[in-house]
Protein backbone atom coordinates (compact mmCIF):
# COMPACT_ATOMS: atom_id res chain seq x y z
CA UNK A 1 0.00 0.00 0.00
CA UNK A 2 1.13 3.52 -0.63
CA UNK A 3 1.74 5.87 2.29
CA UNK A 4 -1.38 7.80 1.27
CA UNK A 5 -3.49 4.63 1.41
CA UNK A 6 -2.09 3.66 4.81
CA UNK A 7 -2.96 7.11 6.17
CA UNK A 8 -6.51 6.84 4.82
CA UNK A 9 -7.03 3.36 6.28
CA UNK A 10 -5.65 4.58 9.62
CA UNK A 11 -8.01 7.56 9.60
CA UNK A 12 -11.00 5.31 8.94
CA UNK A 13 -10.07 2.91 11.76
CA UNK A 14 -9.45 5.86 14.09
CA UNK A 15 -12.86 7.33 13.24
CA UNK A 16 -14.60 4.00 13.84
CA UNK A 17 -12.82 3.54 17.19
CA UNK A 18 -13.51 7.10 18.31
CA UNK A 19 -17.22 6.83 17.50
CA UNK A 20 -17.43 3.40 19.15
CA UNK A 21 -15.98 4.84 22.35
CA UNK A 22 -18.25 7.92 22.33
CA UNK A 23 -21.54 6.53 21.08
CA UNK A 24 -21.22 2.84 20.25
CA UNK A 25 -20.21 -0.48 21.72
CA UNK A 26 -17.14 0.81 23.56
CA UNK A 27 -19.26 3.33 25.47
CA UNK A 28 -20.69 0.44 27.53
CA UNK A 29 -18.85 -1.90 29.93
CA UNK A 30 -19.93 -5.06 28.05
CA UNK A 31 -19.53 -3.62 24.57
CA UNK A 32 -17.22 -5.27 22.07
CA UNK A 33 -15.64 -4.52 18.74
CA UNK A 34 -14.55 -7.35 16.49
CA UNK A 35 -12.25 -6.72 13.56
CA UNK A 36 -11.66 -9.49 11.01
CA UNK A 37 -10.25 -9.55 7.54
CA UNK A 38 -9.73 -11.97 4.71
CA UNK A 39 -7.95 -11.96 1.42
CA UNK A 40 -10.10 -12.38 -1.63
CA UNK A 41 -9.33 -13.39 -5.20
CA UNK A 42 -8.08 -10.72 -7.57
CA UNK A 43 -5.73 -9.29 -4.96
CA UNK A 44 -8.36 -7.76 -2.64
CA UNK A 45 -8.73 -7.55 1.13
CA UNK A 46 -12.02 -7.31 3.01
CA UNK A 47 -11.94 -5.85 6.51
CA UNK A 48 -14.98 -6.25 8.78
CA UNK A 49 -15.70 -4.00 11.80
CA UNK A 50 -18.54 -5.28 14.00
CA UNK A 51 -19.83 -3.69 17.20
CA UNK A 52 -22.00 -5.48 19.77
CA UNK A 53 -23.17 -4.96 23.33
CA UNK A 54 -23.57 -1.22 22.96
CA UNK A 55 -26.59 1.04 22.73
CA UNK A 56 -29.15 0.54 19.98
CA UNK A 57 -27.95 2.06 16.71
CA UNK A 58 -29.98 4.15 14.29
CA UNK A 59 -28.88 5.68 11.01
CA UNK A 60 -28.00 9.35 11.58
CA UNK A 61 -30.21 12.03 10.05
CA UNK A 62 -27.22 13.61 8.30
CA UNK A 63 -23.77 12.54 7.20
CA UNK A 64 -21.00 13.82 9.43
CA UNK A 65 -17.24 13.93 8.92
CA UNK A 66 -16.73 10.26 9.80
CA UNK A 67 -19.34 8.74 7.52
CA UNK A 68 -18.30 11.02 4.67
CA UNK A 69 -14.64 10.05 5.16
CA UNK A 70 -15.52 6.36 5.20
CA UNK A 71 -18.14 6.20 2.44
CA UNK A 72 -16.69 8.76 0.03
CA UNK A 73 -13.04 9.48 0.86
CA UNK A 74 -11.89 5.91 1.46
CA UNK A 75 -13.09 4.47 -1.88
CA UNK A 76 -11.57 7.33 -3.87
CA UNK A 77 -8.22 7.38 -2.08
CA UNK A 78 -7.68 3.62 -1.87
CA UNK A 79 -9.54 2.34 -4.91
CA UNK A 80 -11.85 0.20 -2.82
CA UNK A 81 -15.31 0.29 -1.36
CA UNK A 82 -16.90 1.00 2.01
CA UNK A 83 -20.27 0.05 3.43
CA UNK A 84 -21.67 1.32 6.74
CA UNK A 85 -24.63 -0.59 8.17
CA UNK A 86 -26.48 0.91 11.10
CA UNK A 87 -27.81 -2.34 12.56
CA UNK A 88 -29.84 -1.96 15.77
CA UNK A 89 -27.43 -4.41 17.47
CA UNK A 90 -24.34 -2.42 16.52
CA UNK A 91 -22.54 -0.62 13.75
CA UNK A 92 -21.10 -2.73 10.97
CA UNK A 93 -18.53 -1.54 8.47
CA UNK A 94 -17.11 -3.47 5.54
CA UNK A 95 -14.07 -2.14 3.72
CA UNK A 96 -12.69 -3.68 0.53
CA UNK A 97 -9.37 -2.58 -0.92
CA UNK A 98 -6.24 -3.71 -2.75
CA UNK A 99 -3.44 -4.65 -0.33
CA UNK A 100 -0.74 -3.08 -2.49
Q: Where do the domains of the chain lie, and which CATH numbers do they carry?
A: 3-97 (3.30.565.10)
Q: Alpha helix locations (H) across 25-94?
A: 65-68, 74-78
Q: What's the pTM value of the predicted model, to 2 decimals?
A: 0.91
pLDDT of residue 47: 96
Res 87: pLDDT: 92
Rg, the chain, Cα only: 13
What is the per-residue pLDDT across 34-49, written as a single tens digit (0 to 9) for each?
999 999 888 899 999 9
What is the pLDDT at residue 59?
87
pLDDT for res 30: 95
Average pLDDT (64-74) is 93
- pLDDT reading at 79 higher than 80: yes
Amino acid sequence: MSARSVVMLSMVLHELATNASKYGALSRPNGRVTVDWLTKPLDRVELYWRESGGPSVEKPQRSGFGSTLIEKGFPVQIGGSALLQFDANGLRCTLEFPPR
